[in-house]
Structure 1
Amino acid sequence: MLRLHRVEPDAALRADRATYPDRLIFHTPEWLNFVAECQNAEPLLATVTDSGQVVGHFTGLLTRRFGMRILGSPMAGWTTSYVGFNLRPGVSRRAALEALIPFAFGEAGAAHLEIRDRGLVPADLTGLGLRWDDAPTAVIDLNPPEDALFGAMASACRRNIRKAAKSGVTVEEVTPGPAFADEFYDQLRDVFAKQNLVPTYSVERVRSLIRHIGPAGNLLLLRARDAEGRGIATAVLPWYHRTMYFWGGASYREHQHLRPNETLIWHALRWARERGVTEFDFVGGNAYKTKYGTTEVAVPWARRSRSPLVAHLRDAAKQGFAFKQRTVARFTSAAK
């Protein structure tokens, strides 16, 4: 039977955590510091033991909502894809999840737990008192040759990339800094305005991401320029070991006919592949992503609350945020 034990980070712990083959960028200290700053949260690290031997680690963050302690690994809205466990090969993820539940509501003192672990599948969740949503993600295998990657895209997508090149669209790699965050966010506002919405986070979150992840060398920032040299689109792409993630992309509506977004993705795919990255993760399964030749991977988002009241508050908060987003957008539009 597996058990979890909360631990404080030290050099030995960090060194051991870095050896796990399922480690993602979302488990790194830099990413945890980014989330902790933006969510006013406290990182929580725990070892997973089997008969006293460490066989894995759990990563999460504690925060407060409605006066209650919430353990997110991650929580919805944190712009963080998957956290959960790092486990030695052969260690059961279901058994680790089963051990997490009493730990979360006992030693961690949480009233609500959420987890999205890249290695968990729906069958791992049955019988544990968890609710979950299907939360598939779209990925691209970067192992095939470059011409095969391009050929796997929809014909319309390939035409758009060629059109952008003929129209003089170019892509440049940007040194991380706050100016890029402001540029990206201005374009993001324009993207959301198209749907009469406002962004789900502030520009400070983008600045925080760049501030924490940029110095580690695990962040690709791209800008597309038109033939006149104007910046028309941007992309934010964290990467670590085998995977690059599409954290965010934005473009001005008036220039979207030049197809800069497809060009940015194609540049990112080639850049990652050249550096030995073997997977590109779009972090979500929206239909528009299939044009890039993606494969859908199921990654359930599971949650459990100490009481039905806490679960109700969580769902109400999610619905309230969506309503607030639409309302703010309407008032903003009316004021222009």
Structure 2
Amino acid sequence: MLRLHRVEPTAAVWADRATYPDRLIFHTPEWLRFVGECQRAEPLLATVTDSGQVVGHFTGLLTRRFGMRILGSPMAGWTTSYMGFTLAPHVSRSAALHALPHFAFGEAGAAHLEIRDRGLTPGDLDRAGAGLRWDEAPTAVIDLNPGEDELFGAMASACRRNIRKAAKSGVVIEDATADPAFAGEFYDQLRDVFAKQNLVPTYSVERVRSLIRHLAPAGNLLLLRARDGDGRCIATAVLPWYHRTMYFWGGASYREHQHLRPNEALIWHAMRWARERGVTEFDFVGGNAYKAKYGTTTVPVPWVRRSRSPIVAHLRDAAKQGFALKQRTVARLTGAA
């Protein structure tokens, strides 16, 4: 039977975690410091043991909502795709998930648990039982192992035309990772993107700066800027990467320049950049229909939750609905609507 045990984040623990083949950037100390700072949350690490032998790890953060301890791995709104487990190949993910609530509501002292684990499937949830609720939260990925010609050919014809149009229009993509002005540029464009939908961004520019501050020194972040023929910054992209995967954390562009197709050019540049460095997968972090034009494959990723009581579950659902209402209200008050 698998069990979870909380551990301190020692150098030995981090070293062991880095040996698992299913490790993600969201399991790293740099990412946890970023989320902890922005969410005022406490990182929580646990080992997964089988008869006393460590066979994996769990990653999460503890925070407080409505006066209760919440264990997120991650929580919605943290701009973090997945956390969950890193496990030895022979270890059952459904068995690890089955053991998680006992740990979350016991040793961790949480009243509510949420987990989105890239390796979990709906079948794992059926086998895990444990009173878990879940929603579908698929993502779109691209296998970067094929050659560039094959990757380009797998895109929709309109997407290929847009990439060629960007080049002919003089759009140039540059690495802006070391530029301190990048966060402000990205966020200004992001406001324009949200304004198109009568909304405002779901986070402040300080979150972007925090991400850069924590990940850039470790070499796990690519920041791209697209300039038009006159040298103006017209689009940006934020792309964390680690181990075998690059993630599309965020992208933005000014509406008045979208006819130059800088967004497609940014993605194509990022894919080639990642592939040249041995990265084998590009993860769009979500399954929006527009991403299919890049030749993506849909991967099902359930978002799982369980509360210690029905009252806590109700509060969680009410908070989610309240956030959407608040966002639209702020948009009206700030003139974005």
TM-score by length of 1: 0.98
- Distance in 2 (CA, whole Å) between partners of 1:90 and 1:32 is 27
CA contact (8 A) 2:134 2:303 kept: yes
Task: Find the counterpart in structure 1 of residue 49 from structure 2.
Answer: 49
CA contact (8 A) 1:17 1:57 kept: yes
**Aligned pairs for 1:6-155 within 5 A:** 6-126=6-126, 127-155=129-157
Q: Give the AA of the match of 1:225.
A: R
Deviation, 1:14, is 1.1
Task: Find the counterpart in structure 2 of residue 206 from structure 1.
Answer: 208
Q: Deviations over 1:272-329 (max 9, x none)?
A: 0111100000000000000000000000000000011111111111110100101111
Secondary structure at 1:69's aligned position in 2? Answer: strand
CA contact (8 A) 2:223 2:237 kept: yes
Q: Give the AA of the match of 2:293.
A: K
- Distance in 1 (CA, whole Å) between partners of 2:210 and 2:336 is 30
Q: Give the AA of the match of 1:82.
A: Y
Q: How many residues align?
A: 335
CA contact (8 A) 1:36 1:42 kept: yes
Is 1:270 matched with 2:292? no
Pick aligned residue for 2:300 from 273, 280, 298: 298
- Distance in 2 (CA, whole Å) between partners of 1:74 and 1:123 is 21
Is 1:180 matched with 2:186? no
Q: Percent identity?
A: 87
Is 1:279 matched with 2:281? yes
Structure 2: 5+ residue runs without aligned partners?
Answer: none
- Distance in 2 (CA, whole Å) between partners of 1:71 and 1:178 is 33
Task: Find the counterpart in structure 2 of residue 235 from structure 1.
Answer: 237
CA contact (8 A) 1:220 1:236 kept: yes
Pick aligned residue for 1:316 from 312, 315, 318: 318
Deviation, 1:177, is 4.7
Secondary structure at 2:37's aligned position in 1? Answer: helix
Q: Deviations over 1:255-284 (max 9, x none)?
A: 000000000000000000111100000000
Q: Deviations over 1:53-108 (max 9, x none)?
A: 00001010000000000000000000000100010111000111111110000000
CA contact (8 A) 1:61 1:71 kept: yes
Q: Give the AA of the match of 1:79.
A: T
Secondary structure at 1:269's aligned position in 2? Answer: helix
- Distance in 2 (CA, whole Å) between partners of 1:56 and 1:178 is 38
Q: Deviations over 1:151-208 (max 9, x none)?
A: 0000000000011111000000013454211110000000000000000001000000
Structure 1: 5+ residue runs without aligned partners?
Answer: none
- Distance in 1 (CA, whole Å) between partners of 2:177 and 2:15 is 29
CA contact (8 A) 1:176 1:210 kept: no
Deviation, 1:52, is 0.4
**Structure 1 residue ranges, 4+ long, deviating more than 3 angstroms after superposition:** none
Alpha-carbon spacing, 1:177–1:72, altered in 2? closer, same or farther (3 Å): farther
- Distance in 2 (CA, whole Å) between partners of 1:334 and 1:22 is 41
Alpha-carbon RMSD across the aligned residues, in angstroms, is 0.9
Q: Deviations over 1:237-269 (max 9, x none)?
A: 000010000000000010000000000000000
- Distance in 2 (CA, whole Å) between partners of 1:290 and 1:176 is 31
Q: Give the AA of the match of 1:285.
A: G
- Distance in 1 (CA, whole Å) between partners of 2:182 and 2:75 is 26
Q: Give the AA of the match of 2:108.
A: A
